[in-house]
Chains A and B, each alone.
Chain A
Amino acid sequence: MGSRSAVIVGIGRTAYRRGSGRTTLGMATEACRAALDDAGMPVSEVDGIVCFSTGDSVIPILVGYALGLDGLAYPLEIKGGGNYASIVVAQAVAAVEAGMCETALVYRSLNSLSGHRYGRVDGALVAEGHIQYGAPHGYLVPGQWFAMMARRHMHDYGSTYEDLGHVAIQTRAHAANNPHAILRTPITMDDYLDSRWIYDPFRIYDCALEADGAAAVLVTTAERARDLKQPAVRMLGHAAWLGAGGLPDQWPDMSALYSANVGPRLWDMTGLTPGDMDLACLYDCFTYTTLATLEDYGFCGKGEAGRFFADGRATYGGDVVVNPHGGLLSEAYIHGMNHHFEAVLQLRGQAGERQVKDAALCLVSAGTGPYGGALVYGRD
């Protein structure tokens, strides 16, 4: 086994819908086949499949079966949420580079609207694990944990509701140029401030757009990539930090996120800086996640992200285009895998109307609160 490198050679996805009427297996299979078609690669070459799951999903070996494969050399399902949406790609790259498989698909498939919903509990519940303490008070869904952090950021750095609003407005404006996005009607600050409260400081426009769908990327060796249809995209570095035992309430500095630990490590590892990024697909399960990660990754100082958005520095002609596809807020909550799709599309120069000019480097982040990761993609 010699030293070899792995690259991203294909991307695929389903339609994103408010109610798919489909199984997660059916959607995962479609997204994976689309990634293979995109690359011009036969399914028979796939010997690895990686995914992450929480709530509803489907296991890699079953997706392999549905693709017509007899088996897999490297099936891996990581138990966890969007905080693993960069680790899964890094894991596929590492597995191919280590020779544990030749070609790996990475997918996320979920019915986050019509299936398992992250924002609500229906019916009787006996709350076990760390939610046992808060659940009797009605405190048990992820958005509440991260709203606690947003409030602390407001207290420590003077950020405001309007700062969150600027993120929602800019992200929606980007989605208007994306035919694949579910919500494409621009919103104003008045629309934002008039929207209904979920858990103050979060309004409905601060929350990810629950939706159904699947997205996938295809990883293989750089050598094999030379004969495929698309220009390859390379992962230039990956870093993650999953802290506080996954207990958001116990995260020491609640005005920062996992990204305060990941940012410095990622830039050190890659030798790059935030200023080098042409675009950033920032995990945006909530507007606050975009705001805090923008700061933690060093695009601006603490407490400055709202102004950064308001001043047009997060869009075309600014410092870095943040979530040109509309993110989880407006494209769809595909748990961060849709960010990888967009990053690769942009770096290949295939994003059409919303193409970021000469896009060569893209930060993709995953997760929020005490846990997450990020990688940098570059044109190979």
Chain B
Amino acid sequence: MAGIDEGDSPSVRPQPGPDDDSQGYWQHLIDGDLALQRCSSCSRWQFPALERCRYCNGELRYEAVSGSGSIHTFIVQHHKVAPGFEQERPYVIALVTPDEAPEARIPARIIGCSPQDVTIGARVTAELVEHPGGSYRVAVFRLAG
């Protein structure tokens, strides 16, 4: 495509660096699920990942969510802050609250729409896509309906 920086292909996007607490989050995405941690004692959800429940010290287990949620807030990214998004900008990054876990806010791209169509409170559904440049998958969201 004309005008695209050859050195800025999507394969140079930042890669996730999982730790022992978050490794399950990324593995579930690779396996095809958006899953968040949930406490086996008090049932509360946890995002981002921790080793134990911060409320009751209970055991946290990954549990798949439906991928339906709503937009808590969002920005429209115009300026280059990280490599690999030349072909996307301007694009929307939102904090999405999953229906099952309304206190969690997951940062993700909103795809398949114009930035002007995005509003706070809009309903979205997750789609798992390959993350270029590595072996990970990430959850992106589309406006529902």
Judging by beta carbons under 8 Å apart, are B14 and A144 in contact? no
The stretch among A22-30, A101-109, A195-203 that forms the contact with chain B is: A195-203
Residues A122-150 near B (CB distance < 8 A)? 122-130, 132-141, 144, 147-149
Closest chain-A Cβ to B60's Cβ sits at a distance in Å of 15
Interface size grouping (class) on chain B: 35 or more
The chain B residue with its CB closest to the CB of A247 is B48
Pick from A136, A138, A151, A196: contact of B136, CB under 8 Å: A136
Inter-subunit contact B109/A137 (CB<8 Å):
yes
Indicate whether B15 reaches chain A with its CB closer than 8 angstroms: yes
Q: Which residue of B lies closest to A201 (CB)?
A: B75
Cβ-closest chain A residue relative to B137: A136
Closest to B25 in A: A133
| Chain A residues within 8 Å of chain B by Cβ, number | 40
The yes or no answer to B124 lying at the interface (CB within 8 A) is: no
Q: Closest Cβ of chain B: how far from A210's Cβ, in Å? A: 13
**Quick check: A127 and B12 within 8 Å, CB to CB?**
no
* In the assembled complex, B84 has its CB within 8 A of some CB on chain A: yes
A144/B13 in contact, CB under 8 A? no
Determine if B83 and A123 form an interchain contact, defined as CB atoms under 8 angstroms apart.
yes
Given contacts A197-B78, A198-B79, contact A133 B48 (CB under 8 A): yes
In whole Å, how far is B96's beta carbon from the nearest beta carbon of chain A? 10
Q: How far is the CB of A135 from chain B (nearest CB, A)?
A: 4
Q: Which residues of A contact B (CB under 8 A)?
A: 119-130, 132-141, 144, 147-149, 151-152, 155, 196-202, 247, 249-250, 254
Give residues in B with beta carbon < 8 Å to A: 12-19, 22, 25, 47-48, 72-85, 88, 90-91, 93, 95, 105-109, 115, 120, 131, 136, 138, 140
